[in-house]
Structure 1
Amino acid sequence: METIRIKGLKIFAYHGVNPEEKENGQNFVLDLTLCADLSRAAQTDDLADTVNYAAVRKTVNAAFTAQKYDLIERAAQVVCDAVLAQYPQVQAVTLELKKPEAPINAVFDYVSVELTRSRT
């Protein structure tokens, strides 16, 4: 099994438990790792034989921004579900969802959750 990574995908959305997070929104950063058999694509050099990461980006953006969630855990689950539903060649997806503007009174880089979901 090989991997495709999309790192540092920035998406503006309205997730959080505080009313101002749902009203004003904030930036999120997503790091995705997709596990799939890429051996055919490595031989054919044909986009149809791989997972099109540009299409995955659109799927992720649509799933992540379709609704407002209180928890980033739920938002991450929705993204993982969407990727697995849309791309049958993806056997597993790992998503680290970072919230660099989380409303906590401290100096920090980000808070995050990481989920791994698979077909098995």
Structure 2
Amino acid sequence: MDKILVQGMRFYGYHGAFPEENKLGQRFYADVTLELDTRGAGETDDLSKTVNYAKVYELTKEVLEGEPVKLVETLTAQLSDRLLEEFSIVEACVVKVIKPDPPIPGHYDSVAVEIRRERGKD
């Protein structure tokens, strides 16, 4: 299966388990890999036969800057579900959401959740 990668997207959201995270907000990053057949687009140079990267970014922004949730797991699952709903040509996706500088004891660069979802599988 071919892959389209949209990496290093950066957003500001109000997600987290602690009240101060919901009030102050923080940065979130996302990497998305979409698995699909790109032959039609490659042969015809036709954007309608592939995934528009700008739409991937906008959808990711809606989720990561949207309604606050407590868990990075929830954000990641919501984003993967939305990608599969929006792009019927996509057979599977890998979504990674990164929370840099999490407010937990100790020194961490970041925490992240990465999931893979396939069309038609729960």
Give the structure 2 partner of residue 23 of structure 1.
23
Query: Gaps spanning 5+ residues in structure 2: where?
Result: none
Kindly state the Cα deviation for residue 108 of structure 1 after the two structures are TM-superposed. Answer: 2.3
> Runs of 4+ in structure 1 displaced over 3 angstroms?
none
Deviation string 1:63-116 (CA, Å, 9 cap, x unpaired) is: 222210000100111111111111100111111111112102322221111111
Measured in 2, the distance between the counterparts of 1:38 and 1:86 equals: 17
Q: CA RMSD in A?
A: 1.0
Give the structure 2 partner of residue 118 of structure 1.
118
Task: Report if aligned partners of 1:64, 1:78 keep a CA contact under 8 Å in 2.
Answer: no
Kindly state the Cα deviation for residue 48 of structure 1 after the two structures are TM-superposed. Answer: 1.0
Task: Report if aligned partners of 2:13, 2:66 keep a CA contact under 8 Å in 1.
Answer: no
Query: Gaps spanning 5+ residues in structure 1: where?
Result: none
- AA paired with 1:42? G
Measured in 2, the distance between the counterparts of 1:106 and 1:8 equals: 25
Give the structure 2 partner of residue 101 of structure 1.
101
With the length of structure 1 as denominator, give the TM-score of the two structures.
Answer: 0.95
With the length of structure 2 as denominator, give the TM-score of the two structures.
Answer: 0.94
Give the structure 2 partner of residue 38 of structure 1.
38
Give the structure 2 partner of residue 63 of structure 1.
63
Q: Number of paired residues?
A: 120
Give the structure 2 partner of residue 8 of structure 1.
8
